Structures are given as C-alpha cells and as structure tokens.
Amino acid sequence: MDLSTLRHSTSHVMAQAVKQLWPGAKLGIGPSIEDGFYYDFDKPEPFEPEDLAIIEDKMRDIIKANHKFERQEMKKEEALKLFTKMGETYKAGLIKEIPEEKVTIYKSGDFVDLCRGPHIESTGKVRAFKLLSIAGAYWHGIETNPMLQRIYGTAFETEEELANYLLLIEEAKKRDHRVLGKQLEYFSFNEEVGPGLVLYHPKGAMLRYLIEDYIRKQHLKRGYELVVGPHIMKSDIWIQSGHYEYYKENMYIFKIEGQEYAIKPMNCPGHILVYKSKTRSYRDLPIRYFELGTVYRNEKSGVLHGLLRVRGFTQDDAHIFCLRTQVEEEIIRVIDFVIDTLNVFGFDDFAVEISTRPVKSIGNDEDWDAAHHALSNALKKKYIRYSVNEGEGAFYGPKIDIKLRDALKREWQCATIQCDFALPERFDLKYIGEDGKEYRPIMLHRVILGSVERFTGALIEHFGGALPLWLSPTQVAIIPVSEKVMSYAKKVERMLVESGIRASLDSRNERLQKKIRDAEVEKIPYMVVVGEKEAAEQSLSIRSKAQGEMGRLMTDEFIQMLQKEVKEKVK
Ligand SMILES: [Zn+2]
Ligand SMILES: [Zn+2]
C-alpha cells in the first residue's frame, strides 16, 4: 500500500468525522505530507486539544463502517453547484481555479470531497492512525485570507510502525533545541529585540566560541586565508552582484547621508573585492578566502524557527577562486573537509544531493556540463552516494548539498558547495594565464557547517543537550561538601581553570544532593565532590556523566585525564 495514499485517505476519514461532529465546519484542503497528513477547517469555535480524541473515536466508527471510496467524474458547473449547495465555499473556490472542464469527486458514506485521488479501496483499510496537533493556517497560505484551523495526523500500515513513529516524535520533543536552549541557558529570543534575532547567554556564547574556534583553525590548516568584510555596503555593490534585483525583498536597506546602503545578506561581494584588489596570476590560484561572516536576511516571521530559521546568522563561509583544471580537486578537498568536520562533531551519517541546471539560468551548456561533472566526479572518487535534484540548482550554477543525519535520523542542511558562473562575470574577475592573456577564474561558494546557529541547534538535539566534553560550556562542576572545605574547593577550581578546563564552583549554600542534582540537569560531563577527606589528601572524588562514580584521583591526574579525552576527539 502506498503510504501517501493511505495517509491522504485517512485525512478524508478525519474530515468526515469532523463534519459529523460539527456539521457547520467548512472544508479546506487535506493532503498527505512527509510524515502524515492534515486537513484545514473553517469553524467559528477553536478546536480544543481534547477534541482530537473525540474525532479519533468518530473516525474509528467510520473505519468500522468500511465505506467504499467511490470516484465520480463531474462537469465543473455541476460540481460547483453541489459544493455551493453544501455550503463548502472553499471547495467552490477551488473548483473555479481548476482549468479542466471536468473534476473528480470522491464519496465515502455520506461524505463527499473534491479530490483528484487516488484513494485506498475503503475506509476499513485504515488501520493505525493518530491525530497529533492543531495549528492555525491561512487559506492558500496568504496572510490576508481567513485563518483556518489545521489538524495534523499520521497513519501507518501497522500499529508497530505507528508506535515507533510516536516514540520518535516524543524523543524529538525532549531534544527540542528551543526547550533545551532555554533550560540550559544557552540562548534566548526577546520581543524587544525582534523575532529571529538570537541573544547568546554565556554558556551558549561559549559553545559558539568553541565551534568557531575549531572551524577557524581547521580552515587555516587547510590552506584558507582569513578575510573580513564590512557588515554594510553601498547598494551599488548589491546592484552589481545581482542581489538587488533578485534578493531585494530579503535585504535590510537604509540611507546614510543620502547614500543607500544594505546590510549584507551574503558574504560574497566582500571576498570578491579583496580578490579584485590586485592583478592575479594563474600561479596565485587557487585563492581561498574564509570568513565567519554574519549575515542578515529578512525571513518572513511565520517561517522563523528557533535557531534553524533566524534573521541574523553566521556562516563559515569561503570563496575559492581557481582555474578550470583545479575545480574537481578543490571540490574533493571541500568534501573531505565536510566529512572530517562532521566526524569530529559526532555525526557519522549524512545525505548528499546534486542540484542541476534549472530552465531559467545563465551561462553556456559547456560550463554547466563541466561544473556538473566536477561535482559528480568528486563524489564518485570519494565513493559517496548522492541523489540528483533535476533542475533545482541556482540560476547561476549547480551545487552539492550535504545534510547531516542526527541521532534520530533527521536531516539537517549543513554544507553546500556551489559553482558560480554569474559573479565572476558581473565583477569582471580575471587572472593572467601562462600565455600572458586574461582569463576568468572559476568561483566556488562553500560552507562546511552552514549556519553556525543551525549547526548549534543540530548539535543540541543530536546530543539531547549532553554535549561531549570538548564542546561542553562547563566541563566540570566542583561541589564542596561543606563550608569547611571551601578554600580547598577554590584552589581546585583555580588549578582546573589555569589548565584550560572550564570548571565552575558551586558555592551555593545548598544541600549536597541538590547541587549534584542541578549539575546533572545542566548535563555537565564531570562532577568533582570535595569533602574533608579529599582536602586532607589533596584529591577529588570524580563522578562522570557517562560512566558514573570513578573513585578518587589526584587533581593533576584528573586534569591529565580530561586533557587526553579532549585531545583524542579534536586532533
Ligand atoms: Zn482525496
Ligand atoms: Zn558566496
């Protein structure tokens, strides 16, 4: 059985149940989606969470009745009359938008729906389903249209598959980086600041520093040079780059002393202008410029989501200017960089996609073919499997997208390697070839982590907030048993901090159990408990989050142990 047909058919059953319970509710649309289905309703009173169980009960009756899904073709005018008579104004609106002369409707019992199908044979074939949530949704997704109520649900062929899926979404809820980010005091959003703009608190800022520090050093090891561009540039630059024409609605534009400027939505122009600052020879190439570049994009407030979709974020962005003959080698180097990085951060699974030439695009066939071959050959040489998104590339060149898979097998967009035929033309980029003539370099845009914000969100959810030692903002909680050993506890803290270990002393006047419990909630990798015995022998009682009680160690032994653990991870 096709899962999307099953799910869509289940959405009919749900709509039928809703209509039986609330005959005045009007129908919107009810498609199957990636993990289930939804149906939109226009109903004056809001659905309450407890309504879901009531609807489910009614659905079970409909499933039991085993109504056949009957397909019927109908003239458009006839269908329009039928749905208008039923008061289904949204359906009537949809019929008017259909260009064909005939439409199809599906009947199951007393329920009639405008629908292309296909459907399962009868309602009795629905076995395992669950209604999940209620949300608001504008008709056709347009903000000036009425707000409908959307009920999400899912369906599977077996109860077991459904149970596994429900377990997964429960686990995903627990790992939600928005929840953990708040609980662990990593970051917050503030209405006074504006939506989609992240405030990093000390622990979140430390995590970000650790990620950025690692990735910056890696770039230097791999032959990149650091550059830094300004956050605002005159609009003329964005006109030349094409952003003004193609990307303006996403940009923040303003005037200073009569001159128009824009906040950068991308880092490319800055790097290009550094390249252009002097004459380049073929001997200088490849040139690889890297910047942890913060960009601002005016995303619609409706799509903002925690750290995943924000209005201000930082990319680990680089631009590679190279010869045609160097493209494949450069792409291989980037792929190696991505795989090594994902491994270090604890991700061992990813999915790769190549997006090819769209209908509307610039550049000649020869360039597109060459770029496509360079991308696919690089993947083949690394024995990496990939899927192809035909026609999904940018208008200015093909690209590779790499999505990491987290512990729950969910995909997160991270790295992109993008060939660009447009910007070298627009900015008239050149190098002097071996024959003394001028040529255009090839330009690659690439990110490894992608958005540092999104990557941070992925890390938090992948580890459920329990970050590995090298990434933990606080690595060690020092817990003194009593006030009497406070001076020893302070000495331990000083020794750890001086050795580069992120330790924090819990000097609160709280019970020992409470302090231990709080360090656990904070998901700190190591706790050291110090009492009079430890103070007398200058030792520590170690408790590891991963391994439990580890007995007593001398302070310098403990320091060496932590340093070794970090070194093994981060080479
Ligand atoms: Zn249908
Ligand atoms: Zn770029």
pLDDT averaged over the chain? Answer: 95
pTM of the model: 0.84
Bridge partners of 548, per DSSP, are 544
Residue 142 banded pLDDT, cuts 50, 70, 90: confident
φ and ψ at 517, to 5 degrees? -60, -45
Residue 123 banded pLDDT, cuts 50, 70, 90: very high
How far, rounded to the nearest angstrom, does the alpha carbon of residue 245 sit from its chain's CA centroid? Answer: 27
Q: What is the pLDDT of residues 248-302, one digit of tens each?
A: 999 999 999 999 999 999 999 999 999 999 999 999 999 999 999 999 999 998 8
Q: Which pairing describes strands 350-355 and 312-322: parallel, antiparallel, or unpaired? A: unpaired
- CA 317 / ligand 2 centre spacing (Å): 7
Q: For Cα atoms 41, 43, 44, give the angle at the middle one, nearest 5 degrees.
A: 155
Ramachandran category for residue 171: left, alpha or beta (phi over 0 → left; psi -120 to 50 → alpha):
alpha
Ligand nearest to the CA of 399: 2
Bridge partners of 530, per DSSP, are 480
- CA 170 / ligand 1 centre spacing (Å): 29
- CA 391 / ligand 2 centre spacing (Å): 20
Ligand nearest to the CA of 267: 2
Cβ(162)–Cβ(154) under 8 Å? yes
- CA 154 / ligand 1 centre spacing (Å): 15
Q: Which residues surround ligand 2, an ion (CB under 5 A)?
A: 268, 445
Ligand nearest to the CA of 447: 2
Average pLDDT on 349-378 reads 91
- CA 104 / ligand 1 centre spacing (Å): 10
How far, rounded to the nearest angstrom, does the alpha carbon of residue 477 sit from its chain's CA centroid? Answer: 31
Looking at the predicted structure, is the pLDDT value of residue 412 above 80?
yes
Q: Which pairing describes strands 442-451 and 312-322: parallel, antiparallel, or unpaired? A: antiparallel
Bridge partners of 354, per DSSP, are 388, 400
Q: How far apart are CA 571 and CA 486, in angstroms?
A: 36
Cβ(275)–Cβ(301) under 8 Å? no
- CA 417 / ligand 2 centre spacing (Å): 10
Looking at the predicted structure, is the pLDDT value of residue 96 above 80?
yes
Average pLDDT on 456-479 reads 96
Average pLDDT on 84-105 reads 93
Q: What is the pLDDT of residues 179-205, one digit of tens each?
A: 999 999 999 999 999 999 999 999 999
Q: Let me know how long the chain is.
A: 571
- CA 169 / ligand 1 centre spacing (Å): 26
Active site residues: 268, 297, 315, 317, 319, 399, 445
- CA 14 / ligand 1 centre spacing (Å): 11
Q: What is the pLDDT of residues 8-49, one digit of tens each?
A: 999 999 999 999 999 999 999 999 998 999 999 999 999 999
Ligand nearest to the CA of 290: 2
Ligand nearest to the CA of 111: 1
